[in-house]
Amino acid sequence: MKQCKITVFVEQLSISIKRVRRRSLHTTIFLCLSAAIFVMILGMFINNRARKFLSSDEFYFPQLTTFYPMSPLPSYSYFLCNSSSSPPSLYPFQFSNDSSGLRDWIAPKELSHSMSDKELMWRASMVPYIEKYPYNRTRKVAFMFLTRGRLPLGPLWEKFFKGHEGLYSIYLHASPEFTEEPPESSVFYKRRIPSKSVEWGQGTMVDAERRLLANALLDFSNERFVLLSETCIPLFNFTTIYNYLINSNHSFVGSFDDPRRMGRGRYNKRMWPTISLSDWCKGNQWFEVHRKLAIEILSDVTYYPIFEIHCKPPCYMDEHYLATLVTKNQPDMNSNRSITWVDWSRGGPHPTKFERKDVSLAFLNRVRHGFNCTYNGSTTTICFLFARKFQPSTLEPLLRIAPILLGFNP
């Protein structure tokens, strides 16, 4: 009897074990199938996200999305497949709706923009690797005026530029407090760039020069860049000056070694070893440079910070930074002379100021042809194209002499 009960118990236990095994097998199969389905869904999700990321503008232009948050525009893959659509603008200039994308890049019509100086320098230092331009490029001269406010000699410059549209660009850096705008008929209308305050003898002077240079570089047609002040006058007509600059093999940055206290005496030993005393140069801040050298100047992140820290009055950045940089890095690109004449013969910290009584045909001709210099390997008497410091009272006699001297129309 007992043996029979034991037999029945063993059989029931065996049946229970088989049932548990079947349930465990079913559970295992269910879990495996669930895991497989989950992996498939996860893979599809990751693949979809990866495709969107790779086709987005942020993947190709991470710097631009850092500087300027991208608006919710269609991705570039959309424009590549739809050639009739225009791609979105890549920098914060405002353009008219009918302007083409290429024109937006090569010559912004509006000088107003929201870029910081750091962003502006980065944008202006871009260089195409393909040297041949995809459009008919007419080389222009960029005239960059560093002024306090209005241009008292503006009427003379108006006559200078008249009839030569398309061969020049104008840029004005004025005090932010100056808001006066010339009439629409003026060549200076809407030519003021975003400006900041400038103090004489301070690093802000060089900041303003670099700001002018950077804004002018945004126009790819600008080939030569000349810095002028509100007291500058042209010594020759536009055609002569344009041909002189466009055909020159060199830039015009004055640079020399001045052993005196106001030269080497301004050198700060803390600049060593990046800048040694033998590197130290002095020059005229009123420069003229070729496009390649202009980009070199804006791209400098080695010497400029050192000058900012260690060149304080009586060291003046505008007299030493550019002269030292060009002589140290690109001496073969420079003629080592300035094309803007100033009179230091009376001594003192500032050059001579010219008033109405000083202006005469004989005086200006002495400046125009009274010197010898080298131009493209040959000797010439045309060494200076501009002169300063001419006060507002000189405008009337200059306009009277201009038709004879410069060939302007009366």
Q: What is the mean pLDDT of residues 317-335?
A: 95
* 359: its two tokens: 């202006």
Helices and strands per DSSP (H, E), number in the chain: 14, 9
Task: Please name the residue that has the structure tokens 């108006």.
Answer: 158
273 DSSP assignment? T
Q: CA-to-CA distance for 318 and 208, rounded, in angstroms? A: 10
Q: Which of 262-271, 330-339, 350-359, 401-410 has the lowest mean pLDDT?
A: 401-410
CB 251 within 8 A of CB 326: yes
Q: Which of 69-78, 157-166, 317-326 has the lowest mean pLDDT?
A: 69-78
Whether residue 93 has pLDDT greater than 80: no
Q: What is the pTM of this model?
A: 0.76
243 DSSP assignment? H
Which H, E and C letters describe 22-37, residue by residue? Answer: HHHHHHHHHHHHHHHH
What is the dihedral sign for C-alpha 127, 129, 133, 138? positive
Closest by alpha carbon to 258, among 319, 322, 329, 325? 319
CB 150 within 8 A of CB 233: no
* 386: its two tokens: 């501009």
35-47, pLDDT tens digit by residue?
777 767 777 767 6
CB 324 within 8 A of CB 280: yes
113-165, pLDDT tens digit by residue?
999 999 999 999 988 888 888 888 999 999 999 998 889 999 999 999 999 99
| Average pLDDT of every residue of the chain | 83
Beta strand pairing call for 288-290 and 386-387: unpaired
Q: What percent of the chain has pLDDT over 90?
A: 62
pLDDT class of 167 with cuts at 50, 70, 90: very high
Q: CA-to-CA distance for 378 and 375, rounded, in angstroms? A: 5
Q: Which of 93-97, 172-176, 213-217 has the lowest mean pLDDT?
A: 93-97
CB 92 within 8 A of CB 114: yes
Q: CA-to-CA distance for 168 and 222, rounded, in angstroms? A: 8
335-379, pLDDT tens digit by residue?
999 999 999 888 777 889 999 999 999 999 999 999 999 999 999
Whether residue 54 has pLDDT greater than 60: no
CB 325 within 8 A of CB 241: no
